[in-house]
Amino acid sequence: MTYSASLLPDLIKAVADTIEANADEVTALDQAIGDGDHVINLQRGITALLSQAEELSLLDWPGAWQKIGMTLMSTMGGASGSLFGTLFIAMSKASHQHALDRQGFAEIVNEAVNAVKKRGRAEAGEKTMLDVLVPVAEALTAASAVTDLSEVLKKLVEAAETGVESTRDMIATKGRASFLEERSRGHIDAGAKTSQLMISAVIDQLLKVA
């Protein structure tokens, strides 16, 4: 890969800062149609990663993804912990079958997103984090032949932003929000929003060193 895991301390810090800066907004989204504890759970996992940041930076990518996944699964709790944990553990597993180049990374991300679908028994279009993860994975695949890395990264940001906005008009069919049925329409999904924020924060950091 163009980047090494030595960037992880900066990436994790960027994620922590963006979630903190948007915590009130996301909590309001979650209180409208969910349990209201999404940000608290997410920050618990991020805090654990911050404490491991230097250790993670010394690992290779497969090792780092595995450790990140296990940490999120054990510290976040709830559905989000399981899903985010699954994403990174599946990335680690897939990385043993694919080269860590541009095309291989796209395949790794797609396999990981499919693992999240399986774990959550969900698909894009059901007002979840998958409405961000799926279009980002698809955009990564579509851009795998693009030579300009900065252009690729910007396409991923656009895909994440379009994806999170798409959840506004969806009716939730998963989680607590599904009990609201038609009343869940008109609200952005909190899990999709934090996924978009974290992806954008990571990409902002990568663009600085691209």
pLDDT at 42: 96
CA dihedral for 155, 105, 129, 55, sign (positive or negative): negative
The string of DSSP letters for 166-198 reads HGGGPPP-SSGGGGGGGGGTTS--HHHHHHHHH
> Look-up: residue for tokens 């810090």?
13
Q: What is the CATH number of the domain that holds 51?
A: 1.25.40.340
52 versus 1: which is more confidently predicted? 52
**What is the total count of domains within the chain?**
1
Q: How many CA atoms, within 13 angstroms, populate the side-chain half-sphere of residue 146? A: 15
pLDDT at residue 34 greater than cutoff 90 = no
Cβ-in-10-Å burial (0-12, 13-18, 19+) of 104 comes to middle
202 versus 77: which is more confidently predicted? 202
Average confidence (pLDDT) over 2-21: 95
Residue ranges in the chain assigned as alpha helix (H): 8-21, 23-33, 38-57, 61-75, 78-94, 102-120, 130-142, 149-166, 190-209
Domain range enclosing 122: 5-209
Share of the chain above pLDDT 90, in %: 79
Average confidence (pLDDT) over 36-47: 94
> Are 139 and 159 within 8 A, CB to CB?
yes
> Are 192 and 131 within 8 A, CB to CB?
yes
pLDDT at 209: 86
pLDDT at 180: 53
Nearest to 143 by CA among 155, 161, 159: 155
Average pLDDT of the chain, as a whole number: 92
pLDDT at 171: 82
> Are 96 and 62 within 8 A, CB to CB?
yes
pLDDT at residue 210 greater than cutoff 80 = no
The string of pLDDT tens digits covering residues 147-206 is: 899 999 999 999 999 999 999 998 877 666 665 567 668 889 999 999 999 999 999 999
The string of pLDDT tens digits covering residues 151-163 is: 999 999 999 999 9
pLDDT at 135: 98
pLDDT at 21: 98
